[in-house]
Amino acid sequence: MRRMTDNSRPTPGSDPKKGGAGDSSPRPRKRRRRGSRPASGAARNAGTEKNQAAKPDGASGAGGGKEPAKASGSAKSGGNRSNRRRRGRGSGRGRNQRQNTSRYRSNHRGSHHADTTMETRDETSAGGLVVSGMAEAVGPGGKVDLSRIYVALIGRLDRRGRLLWSMPKGHVEDGEHQWTTAEREVWEETGILGEAFEELGVIDYWFVSEGVRIHKTVHHNLLRYVDGVLNDEDPEVTEVTWVPMSELIEHLAYADERKLARIAVDRMPAIARKEADAGRATPR
């Protein structure tokens, strides 16, 4: 007798083996990887061995066609590391880092060599701002008009031919007080006779001249105008000029002197009122 097989699909919630309605919950479905077939363990092993023997890497065992081989986790990581290494060698960051290191080593060797072989010397200079019209700038109620107060500056040409304005200053002689130096240097470089009456600030810096490393300290002062007319007879000075105190900061070429100029501008109203109260009118 021929045995009949029922190929109809069971309805959801029924169990064909029990012949009736079973548990109402749906049957759990097995997750399948996309592109793969479920197979028994023996068949799967046999198919794998056959495929490995008959087909090159990257061929699928199901359809006989080729598909791209998937990289393993270690291969991906290795590829990323390789890419990162290539990017590092080709990027500007890597080059700059190596250049900066070389430059640092070069500078370090140079500075070490200079420290052990180059002569070092200390120098001291003094100068400052000679001020005119302080008492006359004080108005009603003690208000001070800085545009009526003038200071003398000197101009020198740099290597590019630019005229750079700065405060007059010069070398302090042995045993000389820095106020005496400031008065002498202002007179020599501007033609104005001034009287130092207040310290403004100190600047120090290093530079190399004729194979000697020099540490220079410069004292800056405020000087009260006494007499004289501007002149540029000093061969080291290109021009001299009177500048309103209200425009002093923007005229100065060097950052350290601009800082001192800000101090002078901040102090000037109080100083001008003191000069007016003492009756010190500017000589004409």
Q: What CATH number is given to the structural domain containing 128?
A: 3.90.79.10
Say if 214 falls within a structural domain. yes
Q: What is the pTM for the complete model shown?
A: 0.59
How many domains is the chain partitioned into structurally? 1
pLDDT of 28 reads 54
Determine the structural domain holding residue 135 and report its residue range. Answer: 121-278
User: What's the Cα-to-Cα distance from 90 to each of 22, 85, 130, 184, 223, rounded to whole Å?
Assistant: 68, 9, 59, 61, 61
Cβ atoms of 166 and 158 within 8 Å: the answer is no
Say if 62 falls within a structural domain. no
Say if 202 falls within a structural domain. yes
- Burial class for 195, CB neighbours closer than 10 Å (0-12, 13-18, 19+): middle
Say if 140 falls within a structural domain. yes
Tokens standing for 249? 């900061």
Say if 18 falls within a structural domain. no
Residue 273 and residue 257: Cα distance in Å, rounded? 24
Tens-level pLDDT at each residue, the chain (284 residues): 444 545 544 444 444 444 444 444 455 555 544 444 444 444 444 444 444 444 444 444 444 444 444 444 444 444 444 444 444 444 444 444 434 433 333 343 344 444 568 899 999 999 999 999 999 999 999 999 999 999 999 999 999 999 999 999 999 999 999 999 999 999 999 999 999 999 999 999 999 999 999 999 999 999 999 999 999 888 989 999 999 999 999 999 999 999 999 999 999 999 999 999 999 999 87
Say if 86 falls within a structural domain. no
Say if 161 falls within a structural domain. yes
DSSP string computed for 34-83: TT-----HHHHHHHHHHHHHHS-TTB-TTTS-B-PPPPPHHHHHHHHHHH
pLDDT of 249 reads 97
Say if 259 falls within a structural domain. yes
CB neighbours of residue 272 within 10 Å: 24
